[in-house]
Structure 1
Amino acid sequence: MSRAYPLTYCTNIHPGDGWADVMLNLEDHVPAARRACSPDAPFPLGLRLSARAADELDDAAIDAFSRWCDEHECYVLMVNGFPYGVFHGAAVKERAYLPDWRDARRVAYTKRLADILARWSPREALTSISTVPVAFREGFDAADWPTVRAHLVDVLAHFARVRDRGGPWIRLAIEPEPHCVIERTAEALAFFERMRFPASLTEHIGLCFDCCHQAVEFESPAQSLAQIAGAGIAIARVQVSSALRASGAAVAQLLAFDEPTYLHQAVLQRRDGELLRFADLPGLARWLERGETPEECRVHFHVPIFLERIGGVDTTRFFLEEALPRIPAGTPLEVETYSFGVLPAALRLDSLGASIARELDWVKGTLDAAHSRH
């Protein structure tokens, strides 16, 4: 049954931002992943391209990569256009969202990704480019919405022209994320209501449903997916990812995962049910110093999806187990454990290659087990 879902991993787990780095990582990891997880069929790629890599790709390199895919029995299923710049080995934090949809550089970058993807995707194929959820919450103002809408309409019109010329059907996949302008399902629905995109362009936009992000928000997989479907919003892809969680006094153990590269947004549930949101773990630490014992807390830290517990705390694997069987068949699934390199060393259970294969196998097994029960 799992073959009904195109399944891959996102190459944003690999360091390096230039095109040479991308190729080196693909050559090091993709052949083994294909042999382990897709020995009898071409292996789909969830390709992360930074702005630098996209600019370095000339016509010859684009054609050469097409040949490489043919030789290695792979194809580009979709592109991650969320991180614009450096994503590993430096303090990324809130810069991961820059430039955001208020900035013309985000427009030019996304159009460039579409033009490249059009060269790699078969005519009339359905594919997607994931992107930031408008902007980071701090510093965004209601007065920014007209600029955001104009930029998005510009990009969607570009996608429509690509399709009119016989290229693939590309969707922009907005990815809700904690502490951003769009984080909860209700905010995603309100975004589409606010934007009221022209009817001719609505087929070119949808959501990237990141399971880690929505689990951190204490959302119900069944309710969230039903609300999205009821609003007629397409899920362009599902990112199969898992977060950290702890209850009661154990919440303090989550602070051990604070590290300098990425934001680790936290959502804390008080004993009375109120949800408190923190942009990063230091904010959670300051709240805990007050001495109040929380009910539960969840933290945005992409941990290996097959683990139910890690480093003395739990994970949100349960969210994946509830969500995956509810995903419509045909929806691309993309494992995205990009934080592997910043896990505490004692918790890195496998090599990166072994972890990729183990995660993809876990998704297949979970889907097969769920569907065999029905």
Structure 2
Amino acid sequence: MLTYCTNIHPGHSWDEIVTKVWPQVLQVKEVVAPDAAFPVGLRISALAARQVTPAAARRFADCCADDGCFIPTINGFPHGQFYGTPVKEGAYLPDWRSPERVRYTLDLIRLLRLWLPPSLTGSISTLPIAYGRYMCRDDLGVVRKNLLTVLRELELSASAGKPVILALEPEPGCLLETARDVAHFLEAMAFPADLRRLIGICFDCCHAAVLHEEPRRAFSLLGEAGIAVTKIHLSSAVRFATNHLQAAALFGDDCYQHQTSVRSHAGTVHFPDLADAINDVPLLQGEWRIHYHLPIYDSGNALYGTTNDFIGEVLTWAPPQTLLEIETYTYANLPPKLRQGGVIESIAREFAWLGGKL
């Protein structure tokens, strides 16, 4: 199943999702799937999730059916405002130590329980616990308690015939960066077996490429650990090996966190943001990879490259039947020359490019 994530369309409140985001979704459907049922990866903020009354949720379900669409997955990673304002590390707050993260995720579960079509297993992607690589034992205890609350709600959904899996999404600079981190974390959490099956992973191609993760090894490890790969984000990172400062300046912005890795003969150095790499080591050579979601059809030019070939590796080794979701939320922040044609055309080109890969 192939979809795209609506976090590419600005929309923070429920009214904005209905009146601004959804019309663009239908424009995309008209281009890429005019005669077929169209899955939609819906991004809903905590504010929007609170605003949806039961009656409004049922109206939206009817609207989806009338429009030939359905909702198999929700992006529950960014809790708050995600558009038109500097986000940076705020994108990871509140994290899984906070009751606000629990309330937000419970709201999303209840919505997806209503919207999920029969016979499908849904998913809600979420942040990889917290930003930062370290957490004290007491904090991990709070995290476990909070996740158990959510997993018990997911158990109720499964019992009602609407199975939904919480999908941790590893990301550079976070507590969980890789598939191996997720496996170790879930082993340490020691959830009861009946709840453990309700938590899986959202594998993001851009994130994994920045960390030089090997897809074959990652998916093999996940399979051995019994961790469900519920969703794969089809995304592409920026990469370059020459003209470092000129290329880096092209993609610098104050909105999102652009974690950067620099690999050379001396090893790999990681920076929390692109600006840190530029300011701290302006002459550092080697291959730079930047957490910056480019349109997946973009293969780069003389100045910069991309990791879109990595998507092919991921598709080769990914478990069959995994939900595939194009995710290019940085579209509005792209250099102007890369935004020619508009967002609908760009999404359509991503579907077409991926069709060649599949």
TM-score for both structures, normalised by structure 2? 0.96
Residue number among 122, 126, 134 corresponding to 2:129 in the alignment: 134
Cα displacement string for residues 198-225 of structure 1 (whole angstroms, at most 9, x for unaligned residues): 1010221100000000000011122222
Amino acid across the alignment from 1:285: I
Would the aligned equivalents of 1:311 and 1:347 in 2 still touch at CA under 8 Å? no
- In the TM superposition, structure 1's runs of 4+ consecutive aligned residues that sit over 6 Å from their partners are none
2:354 to 339, 363, 366: 363
Structure 1 residues 81-114: Cα deviation after superposition (integer angstroms, max 9, x where no partner): 0010000101100000111000011011101110
Unpaired runs of at least 5, structure 1: 1-5, 368-374
1:206-221 → structure 2 map (5 Å cutoff): 206-221=200-215
In the alignment, structure 1 residue 189 sits paired with structure 2 residue 180 = no
Q: Residue 272 of structure 2 aligns with which residue?
A: 279
Looking at structure 2, the residues matched to 61 and 140 of structure 1 have their Cα atoms a distance apart, in angstroms, of 39
**Which residue does 1:143 correspond to in 2?**
138
| Offset at residue 347 of structure 1 (A) | 2.1
Deviation at 1:187, TM superposition (A): 1.3
The answer to whether structure 1 residue 64 and structure 2 residue 59 are counterparts is: yes
Q: Higher mean Cα deviation, 23-32 or 12-21?
A: 23-32
RMSD: 1.6
Alignment-derived partner of residue 74 in structure 2: 79
Q: Would the aligned equivalents of 1:303 and 1:337 in 2 still touch at CA under 8 Å?
A: yes
Shift of 1:119: 0.8
What is the alpha-carbon distance in structure 2 between the residues aligned to residue 41 and residue 116 of structure 1? Answer: 24
Partner of 1:328: 319
SS in 1 for 2:55: helix
* Unaligned runs of at least 5 residues, structure 2: none
Q: CA deviation at 1:269?
A: 1.0
Query: Are the aligned partners of 1:244 and 1:254 in contact in 2 as well (CA < 8 Å)?
Result: no
Q: Distance in 2 between matches of 1:310 and 1:261?
A: 24
Distance in 2 of aligned mates of 1:226 and 1:147: 30
Cα distance in 2, alignment partners of residues 105 and 365 from structure 1: 42
Letter in 2 for 1:119: L
Measured at CA, do residues 308 and 143 of structure 1 come closer, stay the same or move farther in structure 2, by a change above 3 Å? same
TM-score by length of 1: 0.92
How many pairs are equivalent?
A: 358
Q: CA contact under 8 A between 1:126 and 1:169: conserved in structure 2?
A: yes
Residue 337 (structure 2) aligns with: 346
CA contact (8 A) 2:243 2:303 kept: no
Q: CA deviation at 1:360?
A: 1.3
Is the 1:8–1:44 Cα contact (8 Å) retained in structure 2? yes
- Aligned 1:1-374 pairs, distance under 5 A: 6-137=1-132, 140-164=135-159, 166-250=160-244, 253-272=247-266, 274-289=267-282, 291-293=283-285, 295-310=286-301, 312-367=303-358
CA distance in 1: counterparts of 2:242 and 2:178, whole angstroms:
24
The structural deviation recorded for 1:139 is: 7.2
Answer yes or no: is the 8 Å Cα contact 1:255–1:281 preserved in 2: no
Deviations 1:295-347 (A, max 9, x none): 21100000010111157200001100211132222111100000000011122
